[in-house]
C-alpha cells in the first residue's frame, strides 16, 4: 500500500436515495423518450413489447445485479472502472484490456449523444420564443430541423453549435463537482422534476379528444391499443428480438461499465439488490408508461397508426423533433407543452450523459492517480475533439456509425463478457454471496440459473444472429452511400486508435503502480 500513498480517498454517495436516483438518472434518458417510441413503432408496437419484457427480465435485470455487485466489490479495492474491476474478478493479464470496453464504450455514446441532447436544449429555448409554433406541416418542421442541423441549403450551424457548447460545458461542470456534489445532487433535483414533467405530458396526451373528425378511429384508445395489443405474428422475426434486446441494454445503461463505476462509490454493506431493482423499475416506468403513452399515443391520435410507423421509419429523431412539435402546434396551450417536452428531454439527457463520462474519470483518478483537475481537463479535450465528428459529419452518417458501435454493438459484447466473468470465472457460488451482502431482499433462486446459463446464452445467440445477418454489411459499410464511406472509414480508424491508445494507458498504469490489491 505504501507505494500507493498518493492515492486520494475515493468519494462516496451521500445517501441511498442519491445513488438510486443517479443510476435511474443514467438510465432514464433520450433512449426512453426518443429511441423507445421509434423502436416500438418500427417493430410492430405491441409485438415489440413481448421480446422487450423477455429482455428486461432475462438480460436487463440480471446484468444490473451483476454490475451493481461487481462495482461495489471493486470499490472496496479502490477501483472504479472496468479494467481494474475485471482484473479483480478475473486474475488474468488480459482482463484489464477487456475492460477497455467499459470506458471507451460509454465515451463513444457520449460523442454523439451530447449533440442530440443539445438539440433538445435548442428546441426548448426556441419553444419559449414560439419559433416553430407557426408551422403546420410535417415538411416545414423537417426543413426547420435540417436547417438547425446545418443541413439545409440556407442552414447555418451556428445556433446548434452554441447550444452544443453550453450543453458540453454543463456536463463537464457537473462532472468536475464530483460524485456526491455533482452527479448525486443534480440527480436528486432532476429526477423528481423529470417525473413531474412526464406526468403532465402523459395526462395531457391521454385526455386528448379526437382531433380529426374525418378519422374517428384516430383516438387515444387506439393509440394505446397500438402499443398494447400484442401482434404475435411478428415474433418469428429475429430483428424484433434483436431490437428489443438492444433497447433494453441502451435504456437501462447496462453493459456499459457505467453502473460498475457508479456502484464502486458504495459502501461494502450497502444493499445492491433492492437499489438496483428500484432504479430499473423507475427506468421501466418512465420508458413504457410515460415514453410509450406520450409519443406513440399522441402520434397515433394526430396521424393514425400507419403514418406513425412511417414517420418512425423515416428517421430516428423525427418523432421527437418533427412530429411532437407539430402536434403541439395543433394543441391548445401547445407552446407550453412543447417547452415541457424539450425540457423533459434535456433533463433526461444530461443526467445520462454525465454518467457516460464517469468511468473514464474513475479510471484516471483511480488507476493513473490523476487529480480531478487533470482528469476532467484531459477528458474534456478528448471529448471536444471527438464530438466534432458527429456535428460536422452528420450528413455523412458519422452520428449513426457512432451509435451503431457505441449504442448497439459494444454494449451487448460487454454485457456478455461481464456476465461470463461473474457467473463462470468468479463463480456463481461466490457471486451469489457477494450479491446478497447487505441485501435488503433475497433474489429468487431461479436467477442463479438465469445469470449463469440463460443470460449468457441469450446474448450469445443475439450476437451470432447479428453476425450472420449483418456483420458483412457493417464491415463493408454497405448501408452507407459510396461517397460517405471514406468518412466512415476514417472515423472507425480513429476509434480503433482510441482503443489502442487506451490499452497503452492501461499497460502504463499497471506498470507504474504495480501494487494492486487483487494480487495480494
- Rounded CA gap, 124 and 181, in Å? 26
Contact residue for ligand PFF among 171, 276, 352, 455 (CB under 6 A): 352
Integer CA distances (angstroms), 74 to 67, 259, 398, 418, 437, in order: 10, 12, 35, 13, 14
**E strands within 101-239?**
none
By CB atoms closer than 10 A (0-12, 13-18, 19+), residue 105 is buried
Residues 6+ apart with CB under 8 A from 150: 156, 157, 160, 394
Q: Which stretch binds ligand PFF (CB under 6 A): 86-94, 245-253, 457-465, 481-489?
A: 245-253
Q: Which stretch binds ligand PFF (CB under 6 A): 17-25, 289-297, 348-356, 384-392?
A: 348-356
Residue 31 makes contact with ligand PFF by CB under 6 A: yes
344/439 with CB nearer ligand PFF: 344
Contact residue for ligand PFF among 256, 279, 357, 376 (CB under 6 A): 256
Minimum CB distance to ligand PFF, residue 413 (Å): 14
Residue 264 makes contact with ligand PFF by CB under 6 A: no
Residue 316 makes contact with ligand PFF by CB under 6 A: no
Residue 29 makes contact with ligand PFF by CB under 6 A: yes
Is there a contact between 244 and 43 (Cβ–Cβ < 8 Å)?
Answer: yes
Q: Which of 87, 24, 23, 113 is nearest to 417 (CA)?
A: 87
Contact residue for ligand PFF among 43, 87, 118, 253 (CB under 6 A): 253
227/411 with CB nearer ligand PFF: 411
Minimum CB distance to ligand PFF, residue 258 (Å): 4
Minimum CB distance to ligand PFF, residue 34 (Å): 8
Residue 222 makes contact with ligand PFF by CB under 6 A: no
Contact residue for ligand PFF among 103, 179, 201, 258 (CB under 6 A): 258
Is there a contact between 489 and 477 (Cβ–Cβ < 8 Å)?
Answer: yes
- Rounded CA gap, 11 and 257, in Å? 18
**Phi (first) and psi of residue 84, to 5 degrees:** -75, -40
Minimum CB distance to ligand PFF, residue 348 (Å): 7
Residue 30 makes contact with ligand PFF by CB under 6 A: yes
Residue 356 makes contact with ligand PFF by CB under 6 A: yes
Contact residue for ligand PFF among 251, 280, 329, 418 (CB under 6 A): 251
Longest dimension (CA), the chain: 78
60/334 with CB nearer ligand PFF: 60
Buried b (16+ CB within 10 A) or exposed e, 190-210: bbeebbebbeebbebbeebee
Q: Which of residues 92-131 bind ligand PFF (CB under 6 A)?
A: 106, 109
Contact residue for ligand PFF among 26, 87, 276, 278 (CB under 6 A): 26
Buried b (16+ CB within 10 A) or exposed e, 215-241: eeebbbebbbbbbeeebeebeeeeebb
Residue 355 makes contact with ligand PFF by CB under 6 A: yes
Contact residue for ligand PFF among 19, 21, 32, 450 (CB under 6 A): 32
Minimum CB distance to ligand PFF, residue 183 (Å): 13
294/439 with CB nearer ligand PFF: 294
In degrees to the nearest 10, what's the CA dihedral of 390, 396, 401, 403?
A: 50
117/366 with CB nearer ligand PFF: 117
Helices (H), 178-257: 185-206, 220-228, 238-252
Minimum CB distance to ligand PFF, residue 316 (Å): 13
CA–chain centroid gap for 494, Å, is 22
Integer CA distances (angstroms), 391 to 103, 114, 158, 346, in order: 22, 10, 11, 18
Residues contacting ligand PFF: total by CB under 6 A: 16
Residue 71 makes contact with ligand PFF by CB under 6 A: no
Residue 284 makes contact with ligand PFF by CB under 6 A: no
Q: Which of residues 366-395 bind ligand PFF (CB under 6 A)?
A: none
Sequential DSSP letters for 282-348: HHHIIIIIIIIIIIIHHHHHHH-HHHHHHHHHH-TTHIIIIIHHHHHHTSTTHHHHHHHHHHHHHHH
* Contact footprint for ligand PFF (CB under 6 A): 26-27, 29-32, 106, 109, 250-251, 253, 256, 258, 352, 355-356
Amino acid at each position: 500500500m505504501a507505494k500507493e500513498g498518493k492515492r486520494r480517498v475515493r468519494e462516496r454517495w451521500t445517501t441511498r436515495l442519491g445513488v438510486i436516483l443517479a443510476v435511474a438518472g443514467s438510465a432514464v434518458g433520450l433512449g426512453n423518450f426518443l429511441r423507445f417510441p421509434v423502436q416500438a413503432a418500427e417493430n410492430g408496437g405491441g409485438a415489440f413489447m413481448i421480446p422487450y419484457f423477455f429482455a428486461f427480465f432475462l438480460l436487463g435485470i440480471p446484468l444490473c445485479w451483476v454490475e451493481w455487485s461487481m462495482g461495489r466489490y471493486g470499490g472496496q479495492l479502490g477501483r472504479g472502472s472496468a479494467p481494474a474491476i475485471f482484473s479483480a474478478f478475473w486474475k488474468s493479464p488480459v482482463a484489464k484490456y477487456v475492460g477497455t470496453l467499459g470506458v471507451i464504450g460509454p465515451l463513444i455514446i457520449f460523442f454523439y449523444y451530447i449533440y442530440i441532447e443539445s438539440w433538445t436544449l435548442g428546441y426548448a429555448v426556441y419553444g419559449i420564443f414560439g419559433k416553430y409554433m407557426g408551422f403546420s406541416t410535417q415538411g416545414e418542421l423537417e426543413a426547420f430541423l435540417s436547417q438547425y442541423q446545418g443541413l439545409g441549403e440556407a442552414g447555418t450551424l451556428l445556433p446548434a453549435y452554441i447550444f452544443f457548447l453550453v450543453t458540453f460545458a454543463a456536463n463537464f461542470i457537473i462532472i468536475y463537482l464530483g460524485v456526491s456534489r455533482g452527479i448525486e445532487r443534480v440527480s436528486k433535483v432532476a429526477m423528481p422534476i423529470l417525473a413531474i414533467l412526464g406526468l403532465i405530458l402523459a395526462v395531457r396526451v391521454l385526455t386528448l379528444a379526437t382531433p380529426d373528425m374525418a378519422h374517428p378511429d384516430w383516438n387515444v384508445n387506439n393509440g394505446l391499443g397500438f402499443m398494447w395489443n400484442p401482434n404475435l405474428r411478428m415474433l418469428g422475426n429475429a430483428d424484433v428480438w434483436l431490437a428489443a434486446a438492444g433497447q433494453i441494454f441502451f435504456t437501462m445503461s447496462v453493459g456499459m461499465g457505467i453502473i460498475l463505476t457508479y456502484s464502486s462509490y458504495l459502501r461494502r454493506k450497502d444493499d445492491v439488490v433492492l437499489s438496483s431493482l428500484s432504479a430499473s423499475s423507475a427506468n421501466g416506468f418512465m420508458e413504457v408508461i410515460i415514453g410509450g403513452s406520450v409519443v406513440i399515443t399522441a402520434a397515433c391520435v394526430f396521424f393514425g397508426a400507419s403514418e406513425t410507423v412511417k414517420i418512425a421509419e423515416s428517421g430516428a429523431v423525427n418523432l421527437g423533433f418533427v412530429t411532437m412539435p407539430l402536434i403541439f402546434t395543433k394543441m391548445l396551450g401547445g407552446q407550453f407543452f412543447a417547452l415541457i417536452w424539450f425540457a423533459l428531454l434535456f433533463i433526461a439527457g444530461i443526467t445520462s450523459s454525465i454518467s457516460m463520462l464517469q468511468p473514464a474519470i474513475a479510471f484516471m483518478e483511480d488507476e493513473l492517480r490523476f487529480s480531478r483537475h487533470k482528469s476532467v481537463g484531459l477528458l474534456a479535450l478528448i471529448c471536444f475533439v471527438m464530438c466534432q465528428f458527429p456535428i460536422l459529419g452528420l450528413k455523412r452518417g458519422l452520428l449513426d456509425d457512432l451509435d451503431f458501435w457505441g449504442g448497439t454493438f459494444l454494449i451487448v459484447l460487454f454485457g456478455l463478457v461481464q456476465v461470463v466473468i461473474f457467473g463462470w470465472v468468479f463463480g456463481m457460488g461466490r457471486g451469489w454471496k457477494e450479491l446478497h451482502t447487505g441485501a435488503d431482499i433475497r433474489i429468487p433462486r431461479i436467477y442463479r440459473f438465469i445469470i449463469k446459463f440463460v443470460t449468457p446464452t441469450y446474448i450469445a445467440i443475439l450476437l451470432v444472429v447479428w453476425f450472420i445477418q449483418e456483420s458483412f454489411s457493417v464491415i463493408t459499410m454497405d448501408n452507407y452511400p459510396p461517397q460517405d464511406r471514406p468518412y466512415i472509414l476514417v472515423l472507425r480508424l480513429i476509434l480503433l486508435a482510441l482503443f489502442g491508445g487506451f490499452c497503452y494507458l492501461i499497460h502504463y498504469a499497471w506498470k507504474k503502480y504495480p501494487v494492486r490489491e487483487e494480487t495480494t
